[in-house]
């Protein structure tokens, strides 16, 4: 069916409300093509897309369709037990998030599956925890994470509270592929429908008790001032509750009140994404007013956390996810080592696009590293493996995109744990050593070399954009470059072909699912990775520059990227 035919089907359907039909009628030819040229797909972070009408948009019809598929998947996987085990659903502050949860809950109930929902928005990590707490067979989180306000999304979880990994998701996707059009989709309603149950504050309390359990030096006197913003999202209530329970009060804790309301339009923030400097504008104003030591911000579904701080020179700095991760790695592992808590089986988990500095710090404490593809579900699956086999002891998991976890009571990255640990770390170093975080990171750089990371995004919207991204990846595979900014490429890894190339030697790249990612290693210890995003129409370019001199390391990522753009012919666009 062509995009034009799909458009006409939507316009003629009595199921489509007038508002959606008006959006279709006003859309340009290019917009119509983007709305209907494909079905919205699951990527590294589930299904995510722009809100609006069409098969390639987030709307109640695409949500119902994928939920029908999930219901069928659960019944096939867990049998009749799935009905009483049930599914936990949660959502963020975005437009239609609550409506999507209620629509998904009804579909599941129609299949005879019980559902558990919260009275309002809750964080993604609490959803993961709640699946385990309720002994449910699955979970659904309606969120577009840190994406702009025009987006919403849908993530699915298994009975361990982990997002589905490839071997699980493929049977689910195979079922969805059989369902046909989202508008004409029908299904048989179970003779005994499932029930929708409202979760109580008991779940919040149990989750928060686990969050507090990760503290190491929780009894330290509180000597820092903290500014906190939930970016209009799900950590507003529990985040503020957390700091109160940690002993922070109105004299040393300052929430950005204008960003504490669950606003789907994100009215009082320039960006809800902790990776963007714009996300800190209002928080910086509050920090300067109160001369705060630490700025903490979560994204809307509260799985990521970003950090800013007052440095040793009296200026505010923002750190990347890798820099924050390195500091957390050093703090957590050194403190656990002091207490004799690390073992020969201790393991840190990260991703292939995460800084190598973390791996070096972990090795210093005798902690091994396991690296996975981008997507925290792989780290969650590793925690499951550790639970089942006992072959290793999970110590810490993180990724460059501002996600961290310190204990395996949930299976997704957790900003609540991270808020606690970052605050504790900053407070402990200032209290016990009189040092600010830039001084601690400088110590690490002196030991392991300067590791400066940077991520660049190039957007490729629409069907033509998808083809352009594929052309770029094909070109890099066909004609891999031998040097970058005068630095020799010593090896590269192709995660789609599952090959590692070192000169003329080609060896198998094992232990990873197929993924459209290329990673190049340079002679000076630097590296870069290139991959199309699994959740947005863009190609991501990851760089880590390594050098014994700060200035040299800081200059390299921009030079590398300039050369890559030239190699790909993108510098002329």
Q: Count CA within 13 A, CB hemisphere, residue 530.
A: 21
In 412-526, DSSP assigns E strands to 450-459, 483-484, 487-494, 499-502, 505-508, 518-522
β-bridge mates for residue 501, sequence order: 492, 506
Is 533 labeled as catalytic in the residue annotation? no
Matching residue, tokens 């996600």? 403
Please, what sign has the CA dihedral across residues 292, 212, 379, 162?
negative
Catalytic residue among 145, 271, 355, 533: 145
- 128 within 8 A of 412, measured Cβ to Cβ: yes
The span from the CA of 80 to the CA of 113, in Å, is 9
Neighbour tally for 70: CB within 10 Å? 24
> Do residues 301 and 294 make contact, with C-beta atoms less than 8 angstroms apart?
no
- Tokens 């094909």 sit at which residue? 474
Provide the sign of the torsion angle of the four alpha carbons 311, 313, 316, 319, taken in this order: negative
Q: Is 177 exposed, middle or buried (0-12, 13-18, 19+ CB in 10 A)?
A: exposed
The CA-to-CA distance between both ends of the chain, in Å, stands at: 33
β strands within 230-354, DSSP E: 253-255, 294-298, 305-310, 316-319, 346-351
51 DSSP 8-state letter: B
Q: Which residue has the tokens 């949860």?
A: 101
DSSP alpha helix (H) spans, 451-549: 462-478
Both tokens assigned to 156: 């699915």
Tokens of 132: 């385990």
Which SS3 state, helix, strand or coil, does residue 154 take? strand
Q: Does residue 551 contact residue 204 with C-beta atoms inside 8 Å?
A: no
Task: Measure Cα distances from 70 to 6, 58, 422, 516 in Å.
Answer: 24, 16, 36, 25
Rounded CA gap, 88 and 238, in Å?
Answer: 19
Output the six-digit token pair for 174.
């195979």
Residues annotated as catalytic (active site), given as ranges: 145
């Amino acid at each position: 069916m062509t995009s034009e035919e799909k458009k006409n089907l939507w316009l003629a359907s009595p199921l489509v409300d007038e508002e959606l039909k008006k959006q279709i009628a006003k859309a340009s030819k290019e917009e119509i093509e983007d709305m209907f040229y494909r079905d919205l797909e699951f990527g590294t972070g589930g299904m995510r897309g722009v809100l609006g009408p069409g098969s390639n948009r987030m709307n109640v019809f695409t949500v119902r369709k994928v939920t029908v598929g999930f219901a069928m998947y659960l019944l096939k996987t867990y049998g009749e037990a799935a009905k009483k085990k049930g599914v936990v659903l949660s959502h963020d502050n975005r437009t239609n998030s609550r409506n999507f949860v209620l629509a998904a809950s009804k579909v599941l109930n129609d299949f005879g599956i019980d559902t558990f929902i919260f009275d309002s928005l809750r964080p993604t990590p609490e959803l993961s925890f709640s699946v385990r707490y309720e002994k449910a067979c699955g979970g659904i989180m309606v969120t577009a994470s840190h994406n702009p306000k025009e987006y919403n999304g849908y993530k699915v979880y298994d009975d361990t509270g982990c997002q589905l990994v490839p071997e699980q998701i493929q049977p689910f996707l195979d079922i969805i592929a059989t369902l046909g059009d989202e508008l004409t989709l029908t299904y048989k309603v179970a003779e005994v429908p499932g029930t929708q149950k409202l979760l109580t504050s008991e779940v919040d309390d149990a989750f928060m008790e686990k969050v507090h359990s990760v503290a190491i030096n929780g009894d330290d006197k509180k000597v820092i001032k903290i500014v906190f913003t939930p970016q209009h999202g799900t950590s507003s209530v529990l985040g503020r509750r957390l700091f109160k329970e940690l002993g922070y009060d109105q004299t040393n804790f300052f929430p950005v009140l204008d960003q504490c309301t669950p606003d789907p339009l994100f009215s009082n923030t320039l960006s809800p994404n902790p990776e963007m400097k714009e996300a800190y504008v209002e928080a910086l104003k509050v920090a300067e007013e109160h001369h705060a030591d630490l700025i903490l911000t979560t994204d809307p579904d509260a799985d990521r956390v970003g950090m800013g701080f007052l440095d040793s020179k009296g200026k505010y700095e923002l750190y990347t996810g890798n820099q924050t991760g390195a500091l957390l790695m050093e703090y957590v592992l050194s403190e656990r080592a002091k207490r004799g808590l690390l073992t020969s089986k201790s393991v840190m988990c990260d991703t292939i696009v995460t800084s190598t500095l973390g791996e070096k710090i972990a090795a210093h404490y005798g902690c091994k590293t396991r690296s996975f593809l981008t997507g925290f579900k792989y780290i969650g699956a590793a925690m499951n493996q550790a639970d089942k086999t006992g072959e290793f002891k999970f110590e810490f998991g993180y990724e460059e995109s501002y996600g961290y976890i310190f204990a395996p009571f949930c299976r997704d990255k957790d900003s609540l744990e991270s808020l606690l640990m970052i605050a504790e770390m900053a407070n402990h170093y200032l209290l016990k050593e009189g040092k600010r975080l830039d001084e601690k990171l400088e110590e690490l750089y002196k030991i392991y070399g300067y590791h400066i990371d940077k991520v660049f995004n190039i957007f490729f919207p629409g069907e033509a954009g998808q083809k352009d991204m594929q052309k770029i990846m094909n070109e890099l595979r066909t004609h891999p470059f031998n040097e970058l900014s005068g630095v020799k490429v010593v090896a590269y890894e192709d995660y789609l072909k599952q090959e590692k190339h070192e000169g003329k030697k080609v060896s198998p790249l094992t232990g990873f699912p197929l993924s459209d990612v290329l990673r190049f290693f340079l002679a000076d210890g630097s590296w870069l990775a290139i991959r199309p995003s699994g959740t947005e129409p863009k190609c991501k370019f990851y760089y880590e520059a390594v050098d014994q001199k700060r200035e040299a390391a800081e200059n390299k990522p921009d030079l590398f990227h300039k050369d890559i753009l030239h190699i790909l012919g993108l510098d002329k666009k």
